[in-house]
Amino acid sequence: MAARIGPMAGLLCVRWWSTAQLAARGGPLVACRRWTSSSTDSVYDVVVSGGGMVGSAMACALGHDIHFHDKKILLLEAGPKKTLEKLSETYSNRVSSISLGSTTLLSSFGAWDHICNMRCKAFRRMQVWDSCSEALIMFDKDNLDDMGYIVENDVIMHAITKQLEAVADRVKVLYESKAVGYAWPGPFSLADSSPWVHITLDWC
C-alpha cells in the first residue's frame, strides 16, 4: 500500500489482503507521507478506519498479535482522544453486553484485566420481548457460569486505549481524522495503473 497524508487532507492508498496474506507478507503495505518539506515516509501494513470499540479492539488485537510483531498499523478516529481519569460514582447509561467470546478477545491483549479492576457486572439471565405482542424469548444459565457481562462503554474504551498505548511502536492512532472519499484502482492489465485503492482523508 502507499499513502500520502497532508495536515488538513491527504490521499491514502490501500490494497486489500487476506489475513493470511498480510501476516505472511514481509514488506510494508502502506506508506504515508506528510505534504511538508520532509520527504520521510511512514509505512503501514494495516489501516483501520474508525476508532470506536470495535475498530480500537481490532487495531489493539493486531498490535499484540505475535504474527504482526513486525507490522505497523494505523488507526483512524474521527473524534478527539478521550481519557477517563477516574470512575464516576454514577454509572453511565451507555453500556454494552459483553459475551464470553468478547472477554476472550479483550483478555488476549490485556484489556479485560483493566475492566475487571474498574467495574463490570456479570449476568446469568436475559429476557427479550416485543412491545407490540406477547412474544418473548428468555436465556438463563442458573447454577452455571456467567453468561456475559454488562460494562460501561467508557470503561471498555479506557481499557483498550491503555493497551493501545502499550504497543504505540506498532499501532499509531490518528485522532480527528476520517476517510471522506475513495477511488478504485484501474485494471491490472494497464501498465501505468496504480494497484491501490485511493482513500481521501480529512485530517486536522
Overall domain count for the chain: 1
pLDDT value, residue 42: 55
Is the CB of residue 96 less than 8 Å from the CB of residue 69? no
pLDDT value, residue 14: 44
d(CA 153, CA 132): 29
Characterize 123-157 residue by residue with b for buried, 16 or more Cβ atoms within 10 angstroms of its Cβ, and e for exposed.
eeeeeeeeeeeeeeeeeeeeeeeebbbebbebbbb
Domain carrying residue 60: 3-203
pLDDT value, residue 82: 86
d(CA 95, CA 156): 9
Mind listing the pLDDT tens digit of every residue in the chain (204 residues)?
Answer: 334 333 333 444 444 444 555 555 554 444 443 333 333 445 678 889 999 999 999 999 999 999 998 888 989 999 999 888 888 889 999 999 999 999 999 999 999 999 999 999 998 888 888 888 888 888 876 666 788 999 999 999 999 999 999 999 999 999 998 877 776 776 665 656 666 666 677 776
pLDDT value, residue 54: 96
CA torsion, ordered 58, 60, 66, 72, to nearest 10 deg: 90
Residue 48: name the closest of 71, 66, 25, 20 by CA. Answer: 71
pTM assigned to the model = 0.74
Find the CATH number of the domain harbouring 101.
3.50.50
pLDDT value, residue 202: 75
d(CA 60, CA 168): 10
Cα atoms in the 13 Å half-sphere on the side-chain side of 92: 16
Phi, psi of 157 (to 5 degrees): -65, -40
